[in-house]
Amino acid sequence: MIEAINLTKRFDDITAVDHLNAQIKDGSVFGLIGTNGAGKSTFLRMACGVLKPDEGSIMIDGVSVYENEAVKSRFFYISDDQFFLSNASPEDMMRFYRKAYPKFDEKRFYHLLESFELNKRRKVNTFSKGMKKQLSVILGICAGTDYLFCDETFDGLDPVMRQTVKSLFANDMAERGMTPIIASHNLRELEDICDHVGLLHKGGILLSKDLDDMKMNIHKIQCVLQPGMEAEDLVAFDRMKLEKRGRLITLTVRGKREEIEKIMESYRPVFFELIPLSLEEIFISETEVVGYDVKKLVL
């Protein structure tokens, strides 16, 4: 498990990460959402020991990461601004990382390189942005680490390649328990892969919740009420949001599905149905309650 306690990092008079507390459990996909400048990259660089915290600590299984070679061998970091050795080919990078990571799977590396149609001897500096991202993902997957830190990894990949990368992540999670931590400014990119999402804003965690829990406890209802009834009469719900378009009423409410259906039936509406919420809608609802507009933060 990765745990950050009062984690803080400053650059001159700018506080990039401000007393952040977070837990990332093993075997799940943790999505770190936030606008550019929210502190995502700084958090990841402290998590992988590139930067030293000014205050607080970040640990893996209770052991500090910074300047700890044994702990660093347990994760691979795919930065947004990727680094490759000067004039190196994919094969050169494989040999470099094979020395750093004892579990590096060379056979799988060549197989994936061929599947992605990347030339093993071509100079990486001639690759496009998307090709470099693909190579970074292949190197990270083949390193055989417990954790994979990904900073805007899907940025620059086409839709087909994004799904391919997500499938690789899912495969390694199932087969060897790898834990990806994925930072992105785009909420929609992570909807179909993350188990837990943290919303980072102004250097701190604004919201951190398990997606299954959120989906089970927030529901959207569309209904048409009996003549004479108004939306304001639906007082039995723990209401988060209300919209009206003519006679059609849309409610976002908290509670268990069975309880919500029972309450709705007690009002004897002309029509009602429960509609699944997207991750975007869930976060909009949650952040509006605490006074933020997530649409301005990450969409």
Structural domain boundaries in the chain: 2-202, 213-298
Which tokens belong to 129? 């942005």
- Is pLDDT of 144 > 70? yes
Model pLDDT for residues 233-262, shown as the tens digit of each residue: 999 998 888 899 999 999 999 888 899 999
- Is pLDDT of 206 > 80? no
Q: What is the largest CA-CA distance in the chain?
A: 75
Of 132, 143, 128, 44, the C-alpha closest to 83 is: 132
Q: What pLDDT is stored for residue 119 in this prediction?
A: 95
- How many Å apart are CA 296 and CA 275, to the nearest integer? 24
Model pLDDT for residues 42-65, shown as the tens digit of each residue: 999 999 999 999 999 999 999 999
- How many Å apart are CA 258 and CA 99, to the nearest integer? 55
Query: Which strands sit side by side in the sheet containing 63-64, from one edge to the other?
Result: 14-24, 2-11, 55-60, 63-64
Candidate CATH numbers 3.40.50.2000, 3.40.50.280, 3.40.50.300, 3.40.640.10; the one for domain 2-202: 3.40.50.300
Residues 293/283, Cβ–Cβ less than 8 Å: no
- How many Å apart are CA 228 and CA 61, to the nearest integer? 60
CB atoms within 10 A of CB 192: 10
Model pLDDT for residues 91-102, shown as the tens digit of each residue: 999 999 999 999
The alpha carbon of 186 is separated from its chain's Cα centroid by a whole number of angstroms, namely 9
For 296, phi then psi, to 5°, come to: -85, -15
Residues 231/251, Cβ–Cβ less than 8 Å: yes
- Is pLDDT of 204 > 60? yes
CATH number of 213-298: 3.30.70
Q: What pLDDT is stored for residue 299 in this prediction?
A: 56
Q: What pLDDT is stored for residue 138 in this prediction?
A: 96
Cβ density class 29-52: b for 16+ within 10 Å, e for less: bbbbbbeeebbbbbbbbbbbbbbe
Q: What is the DSSP string of 147-161?
A: EEEEESTTTT--HHH
Cβ density class 199-222: b for 16+ within 10 Å, e for less: bbbebbbbbbbebeebbeebbbbb
Q: Where do runs of H (alpha helix) occur along the chain?
A: 40-47, 69-72, 90-100, 106-115, 129-142, 159-176, 187-190, 211-217, 257-266, 279-289, 294-298
